[in-house]
Amino acid sequence: VNNFKKPEEPILLALPAGQGRRLNDGLERLITMLKTNIPELLKSQFFQERKQDITEGQQRKQRDILEKFEELVSTEGFAVIQVQMGLFTRPDLLPVIDNQPTPFNKLEALVKEDKFPKKKLEDLKKKYSQLTEQLDNVINQLKVIDDETQTLLKNQEIEACSPLIKGGLSDLRKDLPFPPVQNYLDEVEKNLMADLDLFKGQKPAEEREPVTEEIDPFLTYRVNLLVDNSDLQGAPVIMEITPNYLNLFGTIEYAYGRFGVGQTDFTKIKAGSFLKANGGYLVLNALDVLIESGVWPALKRTLRYQTLEIQNPVSPFLISTSRLKPEPVKCNVKIIMIGDDYLYNLLYFMDDDFKKIFKVKAEFDTEMDKTDKSIIDYVRFARKICDEDQLQPLERDGLAALVEFGVRQAGRQKKLSTRFHLIADIIREADYWSQKNGHKLISRQDVQTAIKERVERVNLVERKIKEMIEEGTILIETQGQVVGQVNGLAVYDTGELAFGQPTRITARTSMGRAGVINIEREADLSGKTHNKGVLILAGYLRGKYAQDKPFAMSASIAFEQSYAGVDGDSASSTEVYAILSSLSGLPLRQDLAVTGSLNQKGEIQPIGGVNEKIEGFFA
């Protein structure tokens, strides 16, 4: 609201939800009522009679003073006249000669012609000087009476309009018994009494012409309702998807004139998401906050001091003759920032303020336990998507197929995937196939078709690899037995699709002291995890066969026809089988494929991507 004492520093009124709207509507009604009733009251016969009585009484005082002065002047042989001075007139004195006011310059001419006594002229000039001083005093007295008249008329207007103003504010005072509001209403009442001229000449609403003026004469009595929570139940929850400085912290708008000079006032202060979420929660994307200019430092500063100042970012291009400094807002906002682990750790270790301000971290898993409750939640989620997007409902088999897809995405029988955006996409696409097939409900077939079509759109790499295997470009044996050669299983991940494919792993051994030679590492095609797996299998071989004598062996292992790099330790057991086969000369079956990592004790550890690996081998 307006600060009547310091207009450049607007006042903040923080009220319970819905009370700000009540204040705004109440003042609007008050101004509308006063614009109609005050002009009618000031034009009423009773008020005009009181005004005339005051005016006539003051005029009588002036006439009495003038009559007394004119009598004094007349006895001294002078007369009061009005002298024109430009656009104005002022009283002056002239000596009366032969019953006629005569200017001094004419008398001086008569003295030169010896037609008027010189001594009498000098006496008249002395009297003129004395009377002029008295005339100035009279003029001052008349001015004082004029000022008194204006004061009396103003007080009369205030006395007449005071019941209207006080009565109009009484309901607001009862409805809003908050000390800051009461103080503000006191200032409103005081200034309305002093600004009664604003209401003079107001026409009735039905006779009023459309307003074309840019400036509202009653602007100072308006309420800028920054945040209106009158229809809100509970704490506000705001999700800001574009957290730039103005959207987040608010702005002060400017109106530009014909010369490009900006003007503003308290009604042009606009709230941002931070203020709208006061008393509740504000959800932000961490990356968006960090890349927007000036947002991250301002956000930390606001949270650190729990105070929000609405100001525009400094711009060298803004020319303004007015600048506001609104009263700071005390804030109680819970900020929820969403981001990945990498961004969290980066801020935690590189920004000291981050760990002091954001003290609660919540991690969301990509899978959950497959229980009766979680399956019911899956069904509820599917129903929610169908209702929001106006899709056909899923039948029982369709829901079962959707849950099976969630289990597959989790990669474990007792888990369900929580990648709900993917589940929602499958439901939407299944709805398309259901309508195309003329079904009234989304069936298992529709869900499976949607899954199949989704894979078909992104499995070009998989199809090309299968094609090269069938053509013999990529060598894979699926029959017979070979010494030192094993079919391993690798998982390829393109981002949108993960699939398994067999790959040939070979080993050659000889006498020597080189130990296990990782050809992929020597060619800089091996990842850190694969290197670790090779070192572990070397440790296993030494522990198994070199307890009482040196292990004089050189063994080289390689992923045949692999040119893009290898990572992961799930091939370490496969590599052990290939080395042992090469050492012993025992052939290995080529109709089998092997996967799984090995520890130094020779134990096979749990494997990942089992679905993709099995499907990749049998496909």
How far, in whole angstroms, is CA 545 from its chain's centroid?
Answer: 68
Whole-number percent of the chain with pLDDT over 70: 95
* pLDDT over threshold 60, residue 95: yes
Tens of pLDDT, residues 243-291: 999 999 999 888 776 666 778 888 999 999 999 999 999 999 999 999 9
- Which residues, at least 6 apart from 95, have a Cβ–Cβ distance to it below 8 Å? 77, 78, 79, 101, 102, 104, 107, 124, 128
Nearest 5°: the CA angle 221, 227, 229 is 115
Determine what percent of the chain is predicted with pLDDT higher than 90: 51
CA 359 to chain centre: 22
d(CA 41, CA 520): 100
SS (H, E, C) 565-598: CECCCCCHHHHHHHHHHHHHCCEEECCCEECCCE
Binning pLDDT at 50, 70 and 90, where does residue 212 land?
very low
Arithmetic mean of pLDDT, 473-488: 93
Q: pLDDT tens digits for 297-320?
A: 999 999 999 999 998 876 655 555
Q: Domains in the chain, ordered, with CATH?
A: 1-218 (no CATH), 237-357 (3.40.50.300), 370-398+413-458 (1.10.8.60), 472-618 (3.30.230.10)
The tens digit of pLDDT for each residue in 98-153 reads 788 888 888 888 888 888 888 888 888 888 888 888 888 888 888 998 888 888 88
Per-residue pLDDT band at 225 (split at 50, 70, 90): very high
> Taking residues 486-501, what's their average pLDDT?
89
DSSP character at residue 523: T
DSSP string, 531-553: HHHHHHHHHHHHHHH-SSS----
Cα angle 314-276-235, degrees, rounded to a multiple of 5: 155
Q: What is the pLDDT confidence band of residue 428, given thresholds at 50, 70 and 90?
A: very high
What is the pLDDT, as a whole number, of residue 55?
87
What per-residue confidence (pLDDT) applies to 564? 83
Q: What is the mean pLDDT of the chain?
A: 88
Over residues 198-227, the mean pLDDT reads: 71
